[in-house]
Structure 1
Amino acid sequence: MTKRTDLPALLAEIHRDAQPLFGQGRVADYIPALAEVEPRRFGLAIATVDGQTHSVGDAHTPFSLQSITKLFTFVLALKLEGDAVWQRVGREPSGAAFNSIVQLETENGIPRNPFINAGALVITDILTTRYAHLDYALLGALRRLADEPNLHWNPRVERSERETAHRNMAMAYFMKSHGNFRNEPETVLDNYCRQCATEMSCAQLAQATLFLANDGRDLGRLGEPDEQFLSADATRRVNALLLTCGAYDAAGDFAYRIGLPVKTGVGGGIVAIVPGVATIAVWSPELDAKGNSVLGAFALERLVQGTGWGHTSI
């Protein structure tokens, strides 16, 4: 499947060629704590289903996952609720900004998909009903998947995000007015902002998402057998949604250029799934106009060109 097998050399090339792109984007500044992140950072990590890992640059530096956590909360909700999830959230691309409120009014409070803010708020509402302490339930799942017991959320980022969450709060109350919100919006927003403030490195993120490249199986550790974290059928469906909805209103462009299921975040991270092969996590904080990492998108495009992992992998 690969055009070349020397992944370390390819990663070194990508790291070098990405450097001139610094300055073409800007860090997220609508969340004050994120505005302080050093912009000239770049990390890339690959975890393969046969247990190999490769990394370059700042791949071991923790960063704020932000919307990438929407992937994990959606998976938790799908495990708990199954197809009942689709009674409260759609599975179509939005074609609108990730924090748009316009479609909610015309579509009776049903968000287009789980990966825009409104959809993720509904997913968080579902999980808030099911878990007394959603923050620790999510961290527990991430710690197991990443094989890293010290993962945490950043309290400063959480506070900064919560203090500026006016649009998200408006969406929550609007959906509640349509009967699509069960808990108090303030409680759900607390959980939502805490989950978005979770920090991981590229290396940890690639490991934590490897089950999506492995038919839902989380690789066993220290001689343990694999764990079926998510069914193979549900895994294929999650990857389909990531391909069509995972990059905000740039999902079509990502599918055309990269051809892999992805989830992006305004912290500058992107995770990409190569079914049956590997997961890729890249981080660089400077964002384009649609909230996606400039260097991250470049790196993924170069990687699939160099490996042949793109459109033929799904």
Structure 2
Amino acid sequence: MRKTERVPRRRLGADGPEVPVLALGSWNTWDRMDRDDAAALLRRAVDRGVNLFDVAHYNFGPHAENAVTDVLFGQAVRDAGLAREDYLLCGKLWLWEYPASSFAEQMETALGRVGTDRADLVVVGDFVERPDLRAVVTDVAEQVRAGRFAAWGVNNWSAADLRFARDFARAEGLVPPVFAQLKYSLARRSVPEGAPYGELFAGGLGLQASDVLEGGILAGRLRPARRIGADPGGIREVIRAALPEVRRVAERFEASPAQLAIAYCLTHPAAANVLVGVSRMGQLDDNLAALDLLARHGDALPEAVAGLWLDRGVVDPAASWGTDAPSAAT
């Protein structure tokens, strides 16, 4: 991809906004750079059209780590001289302490830490014990009415729970979820490519792919020093063992492993974008080059990586992140 070319945009679900196909996540990202580098990377990303940033306040449930990555992101925005209209902000609402920690309180805190008065999108986080989904949908809609954000999605919910939330919202005249942020990679395909979610995607739901590099493992960093996402199905060592095959396939296309992983996820018919957690300018440039691979060889990628589907038969396509088993909202 030419260094002056802006990335393509896709609609995030039938009723969602247009977003860049490449977006930057926040967990263990902005706290891995010095201040000047963070501002320079942010400026470069926005100049290339990579202007959607997934940013959260990580201090709930298993993420109760008092992280400051969101505060540092806000500082980088100011240092880079960006206006609010220059970028899209995707926040998170956590369910670990909900409803004791209300969505209104969470949004006030999260937006204040970044230094803005609104997000554009919000992802409602995953859960192990199902909350009252009717209350969740109603409370999210109240935040939309308050102008805190305009559209929302969910993070690693089962298809059954998401369908329930969507149908309840529509029946009550509330704003329904328009996308799902799901773990999706060369290795982890069972949920995003399974029949339960397939029905939702066919009905207009959008897909935002997260963990596409398995915390860096699929880019060649076998033992990341930082914390990375959960391991549904317990296949992480199998993924590490598959890296030579990932490299072999990438070399066939004159690409890096990271480029192969990103481009493959963007071949999914419902995929609007992928989230990556770059912390160096070189990583951003390498990831941008995945879009050239997609343009040149996108049709050939699914067959080329067919043998790298490593959670097939291990993770139930109807599962949620928290349970690895089907759930049924009642």
TM-score, normalised to structure 1's length? 0.32
Question: Relative CO higher for 1 or 2, CA cutoff 8 Å, sep ≥ 6?
Answer: 1
Task: Determine which structure has the larger helix proportion and give its number.
Answer: 1
